[in-house]
Amino acid sequence: MTSRGLLVPTLAAALVLAVLISLGTWQLDRLAWKNELIAQVQARTTRAPVPAPPPGEWDRIDRSHDEYLPVTASGQFDHARETLIYSVLSDAKGPLKGPGFVVVTPLVQADGSVILVNRGFVPEDRRDPKTRAAGQISGAVTVTGLLRLPEEASWFVPANAPERNAWFRRDPEEIGRARGLTQVAPFLIDADATANPGGLPQGGETRLSFPNKHLEYALTWYGLAVTLVGVYIAFVMTRLRAPRAAAPRD
């Protein structure tokens, strides 16, 4: 095979090699991001709770500075407008786990503004508020928990379907619009593990540990790149030797 005959295989190998190296580098970038996130969460969640941001500060809330910040807020729950977000609780801190729902309830503050509160998890057979009436607290309450921003879209989580009352992502704006609420905070509060009357909802289930296999993934992509180079070299050497082996001898 001539050098011209190697043009197409070489271009194809170069393209695949570039993709593999790009994927490995992307995973290293994700590794740095994940390590920073873990460090931020660990440092932030150990702080003393502070009052939740008031409406005048909502437009300055930033994911990198405010998410997982311990906060408190006071008001009254509007249980008639609670929203159930489907969830499968696997690594539970409390006694209940499995398929069920996260109970998100509007907390109406004294100034009329609303903060949606993730009060915790309930199993599928307790989705009806009547089955957990003791936990439907009335009157003034103070909630302590972690500030959470809207759940980002993912290929693995379906979009919400408000018209069917089917919810899969925490989105304060979308939930507030569907429930006819005004002046809704652009964040939620994940309530802490303080027990609710009757034990439900089961609070304090915020996930604070994150899978971090990006280094393994990066090494896999780089390993495939090295393997590709080795295969390509072997391929070229075999093809270049073939005409010599096939040439007739005098």
Tell me the residue range of the domain where 113 lies.
48-199
Give strand pairing partners of 86.
101
Does residue 154 share a domain with residue 226?
A: no
> Residue 244: its pLDDT value, please?
60
Q: Are residues 157 and 55 in the same domain?
A: yes
pTM above 0.85, yes or no: no
Task: Identify whether residues 68 and 33 lie together within a single domain.
Answer: no
Does residue 194 sit in the same domain as residue 217?
Answer: no
Q: Identify whether residues 218 and 190 lie together within a single domain.
A: no
pLDDT recorded at residue 41: 78
- The answer to whether residue 42 sits within a structural domain is no
Residue 204 lies in a domain: no
DSSP secondary structure letters along the chain = --TGGGHHHHHHHHHHHHHHHHHHHHHHHHHHHHHHHHHHHHHHTTSPPEEPPPGGGGGG--HHHHTT-EEEEEEEE-GGG-EEEEEEE-S-SSS--EEEEEEEEEEE-TTS-EEEEEEEEEEGGG-SGGGGGGGS--SEEEEEEEEEPPPPPBTTBPPPBGGGTBB-S--HHHHHHHTT--SEEEEEEEE-SPPPGGG-SB-----------HHHHHHHHHHHHHHHHHHHHHHHHHHHHHHHHHSPP-
CB atoms within 10 A of CB 159: 12
Tell me, yes or no, whether 75 and 111 share the same domain: yes
Specify the pLDDT at position 239.
78
Identify the segments of the chain with pLDDT beneath 70: 1-5, 209-210, 242-250
Residue 165: CB partners within 8 Å, gap ≥ 6? none
**Could you give the number of structural domains in the chain?**
2
- pLDDT value at residue 248: 58
- Say what angle helices 214-246 and 7-44 make with each other, to 10 degrees: 170
* Model pLDDT, residue 207: 82
Together in a domain, 27 and 89? no
Shared domain for 32 and 101, answered yes or no, is no
